[in-house]
């Protein structure tokens, strides 16, 4: 079966929320193949510890591709301890220029508690406006919900959980089985 004929893996919603000196990254657990749910308890949010760096990351896209990118990010963090921005830019440059990495189909949201970035295969390292970032099939739903909640009295984790709940009610490729990681600035 040709790659363009393959039904493809769908389904992920990842959100990052920065509020009150804390960053929360939350992700759902659903993995779908076409219209079939293959797994409902996948962990798409991870804590990375590389050298002196403590970073949380969430991924959308191909799992194997995302793990490859997370391993590369850890190596970049080991080479530039405590410099998430630099490590992220170096990863994005490699991803864009390396013939092997160019084929990887995933996106990342990463944070060290102070900074929050979306990293893409197009070479982007984006710091989101309004302290909220979201990726994946339900990302726009979660993003809209979180942005609406940012002015409320809710903390970062409550906003992320509520936004993910709303996204899971709208996006058929997103479930309510969450993995949540928190990091302080």
For each of the domains in the chain, give its residue range(s) and CATH number, in order of start: 9-180 (3.60.20.10)
Structure tokens at 129: 């406006």
CA separation for the pair 9, 63 (Å, rounded): 9
Annotated catalytic residue 13: no
Q: What is the pTM of this model?
A: 0.91
Per-residue pLDDT tens digits for 127-137: 999 999 999 99
Q: Which among 12, 13, 174, 182 is annotated as catalytic?
A: 12
Six token digits for residue 152 = 């409320």
Residue 47 to residue 45: CA distance in whole angstroms: 7
- Here the tokens at position 40 are 């409902």
SS3 labels along 109-141: EEECCCCEEEECCCCCEECCHHHEEEEECCHHH
Q: What is the DSSP letter of 33?
A: E
pLDDT in tens, 38-90: 899 999 999 998 766 799 999 998 888 888 889 999 999 999 988 999 999 99
């Amino acid at each position: 079966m040709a790659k363009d004929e393959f039904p493809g893996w769908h389904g992920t919603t990842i959100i990052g929320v920065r509020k009150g000196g804390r960053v929360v990254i939350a992700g759902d657990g659903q993995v779908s193949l076409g219209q079939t749910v293959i797994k409902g308890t996948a962990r798409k949010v991870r804590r990375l510890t590389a050298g002196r760096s403590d970073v949380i990351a969430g991924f959308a896209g191909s799992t194997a591709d995302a793990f490859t990118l997370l391993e590369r990010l850890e190596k970049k963090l080991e080479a530039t301890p405590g410099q998430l921005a630099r490590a992220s830019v170096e990863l994005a440059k490699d991803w864009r220029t390396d013939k092997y990495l160019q084929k990887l189909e995933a996106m990342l949201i990463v944070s060290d508690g102070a900074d929050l970035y979306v990293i893409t295969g197009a070479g982007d390292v984006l710091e989101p406006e309004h302290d909220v970032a979201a990726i994946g099939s339900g990302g726009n739903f979660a993003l809209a919900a979180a942005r609406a909640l940012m002015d409320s009295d809710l903390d970062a984790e409550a906003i992320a959980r509520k936004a993910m709940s709303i996204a899971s009610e709208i996006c058929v490729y997103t479930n309510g089985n969450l993995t949540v990681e928190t990091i302080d600035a």
